[in-house]
Amino acid sequence: MSNNPGFWGWLNERLPVSNFLKASVTEYYAPKNFNFWYFFGSLALLVLVLQIISGIFLLVHYYSDANQAFDSVQGIMFDVKWGWLVRYIHTTGASLFFVVIYLHISRGYLYGSYRKPRELLWIFGWIIYIILMAEAYFGYVLPFGNMSYWGGEVITAIIGAIPWVGDWLVSIVRGGPGLGGATLTRFMAWHVAFIPLLLIGVIVFHLVALHQVGSNNPDGIEISKNLDANGRPVDGIPFHPYYTVKDIFGVGVFLTLFAVIVLFAPTFWGLIMEYNNYLPANPLQTPADVTPAWYLSPYYAVLRAIPGKGFGIVMLGASIMLPFFLPWLDRCPAKSVRYRPVYFGMLILLAISVVVLGWIGLQPANPALLPPARIALGVYFGFFILLPVISRFEPIRPVPDRVRM
Ligand code: HEM
């Protein structure tokens, strides 16, 4: 019989709820010095939940038939009660997901969170990012507007450049020679079931790995494992209540911003929803400029900057995969940018190169933009090629007493 009466005691005898909460929040010790960059992991979880809930509501009224998909989405916008709100939450959520993820990744670069012992945590994160791009792409095609159609056409055609099996693969992905109902049904299956399941699975590994090694912090110096008289780590504070309160503040600010965009600027001047997608898919009319969503545009710029489709695809793959190897490319004894002035300069150049590529990727094809695109691409690759050498010899600022207590 239980010594611990009541529902809580009954439950805990059957399910380790208390132990789980202790291990993951009330007795999970985190460094004291988290700053605003540490909001974005929990915000990513929040957006994931919002996307799943709004997606399920959209699915109720969506038809994956080539002749009905576009009209069903218009029906959601104009006929279904609150349908416009659910759709705008989903489209805004998709873009803000990437804003949050790019900030979350930037924090990793800034504080060297990818370094030992967090290599696997980083790798799971990078796999999540790749899965997320696929998820966004398949979702983008579903409303079957003219941009969905041509975006779907251009990106699936890229697969055709793979030697020998390319054409066969394209027809597998499209479900036929061109984009149509068979494409929509398989894209829906991937967008709604396969990829979200995969995503959730890898996120679980991401979080388990995080709890195994503990969080890094803005100084990039591991917190002491020494315990105080009460058996608590001397440098750590329990995640709950200290960081749950902080995270709730972040959630409040984020949801306010989210609501402002959804209610006042849902298309965000064509960045969140493109004008051409308010027209139905038309295989006979290519939009004047087929450009991807902003969060994929740097990669599109890479593809256009390289002459030759095959080589372009190799460089595209390399630009996506290079950060995967960061834990082994960076060899500096210090992790955080706070103590690495040269690395700080390199990070700024890297950020500028990504923004320039992203902007160019959103412009109509224009030969005048080739030189800046190639320079930006050179800077991007230069970062990863030079890092192993520079990080060995770069100067390191002394750690202040504040940190070495
Ligand atoms: C749906 C996507 C993701 C979710 C839900 C997620 C969730 C989280 C959470 C809750 C944390 C702990 C809180 C925090 O440190 O902010 C975290 C930490 C971390 N994440 Fe993610 N993450 C995602 C994607 C990524 C990606 C794409 C990367 C990078 C490639 C990444 C790399 C990291 C790293 C390195 C840490 C530890 C940071 C540190 O301790 O300084 N995550 N993640």
**What tens digit of pLDDT does each residue of 118-130 get?**
999 999 999 999 9
CA distances from 326 to 130, 157, 182, 229, 321 (A): 16, 31, 39, 39, 10
Calculate how far, in angstroms, residue 109's C-alpha sits from the geometric centre of ligand 1: 12
Report whether 89 contacts 262 (CB < 8 A): yes
* CA 105 / ligand 1 centre spacing (Å): 7
**Mean pLDDT in residue range 296-320:** 94
Does residue 390 fall inside a structural domain? yes
Confidence label for 227 from pLDDT (cuts 50, 70 and 90)? confident
Distance in angstroms (rounded) separating the CA atoms of residues 315 and 326: 17
**265-303 confidence digits (pLDDT tens):** 999 999 999 988 999 999 999 988 888 999 999 999 999
Rounded distance between C-alpha atoms, residue 49 and residue 59, angstroms: 15
Residue 268 maps to a domain? yes
Residues 166 and 267 in one domain: yes
Whose CA is closest to atom 11 on ligand 1? 41
Please identify which residue in the block is written with the tokens 């890094």: 216
pLDDT of residue 160: 86
Which CATH number covers residue 307? 1.10.287
Based on its alpha-carbon atoms, the radius of gyration of the chain, rounded to whole angstroms, reads 24
Overall average pLDDT of the 56-73 stretch: 97
CA distance 84 to 262: 10
**Mean predicted lDDT score pLDDT of the chain:** 94
Would you state the structure tokens that stand for residue 121, as one six-digit string?
């945590």
Question: Do 52 and 131 share a domain, yes or no?
Answer: yes
Residue 241 preceded by cis peptide, ω within 30: yes
Residues 241 and 315 in one domain: no
pLDDT at 163: 85
Q: Whose CA is nearest to atom 6 of ligand 1?
A: 41
| Predicted local distance difference test score (pLDDT) of residue 4 | 61
φ/ψ of 145, rounded to 5, equals -75, 180
Q: How many domains are contained in the chain? A: 2
- Say how many Å lie between the CA of residue 101 and the centre of ligand 1: 8
Q: Rounded to the nearest whole angstrom, what is the distance from the C-alpha of residue 104 to the centroid of ligand 1?
A: 6
| 121 CA from centroid of ligand 1 (Å) | 8
Question: Alpha-carbon distance 300 to 390, whole Å?
Answer: 29
Residue type, 267: T
Residue 31 lies in a domain: no
Neighbouring CB atoms inside 10 A of 200's CB total 12
Which pLDDT band, with edges at 50, 70 and 90, does 396 fall under? very high
CB neighbours (10 Å) of residue 404? 9
In terms of domains, do 111 and 238 share one? yes
pLDDT at residue 230 in the model = 81
Tokens of 262: 């959804």
Which atom of ligand 1 is closest in space to residue 217's alpha carbon? 41
Report the residue among 34, 131, 206, 321 best suited for mutation to probe ligand 1: largest number of ligand atoms under 8 A from its CB: 206
Confidence band, pLDDT 50/70/90 cuts, at residue 3: low
The domain in which residue 362 lies consists of 292-405
Angle at 363 between CA 360 and CA 366, to 5 degrees: 90
- DSSP notation for 283-304: TT---SS----GGGHHHHHHHH
Ligand 1 site, CB within 6 A: 38, 40-42, 44-45, 48, 101, 104-105, 108, 111, 113-114, 118, 121-122, 125-126, 128-129, 203, 206, 210, 215-216
**CATH number for position 43:** 1.20.810.10
Whether residue 225 lies inside any domain: the answer is no
Q: Which atom of ligand 1 is nearest to the CA of 199?
A: 1
Q: Is the peptide bond before 307 cis (omega within 30 degrees of 0)?
A: no
Partners of 31 in the β-ladder: 236
Identify which of 240, 193, 218, 13 has the alpha carbon closest to the alpha carbon of residue 113.
218
Contact 199, 131 (CB under 8 A): yes
pLDDT at 1 over 60: no
**What are the pLDDT digits (tens) for 131-152?**
999 999 999 999 999 999 999 9
> Are residues 264 and 316 part of one domain?
no
pLDDT over threshold 80, residue 206 = yes
Cα(118) to ligand 1 centroid in Å equals 11
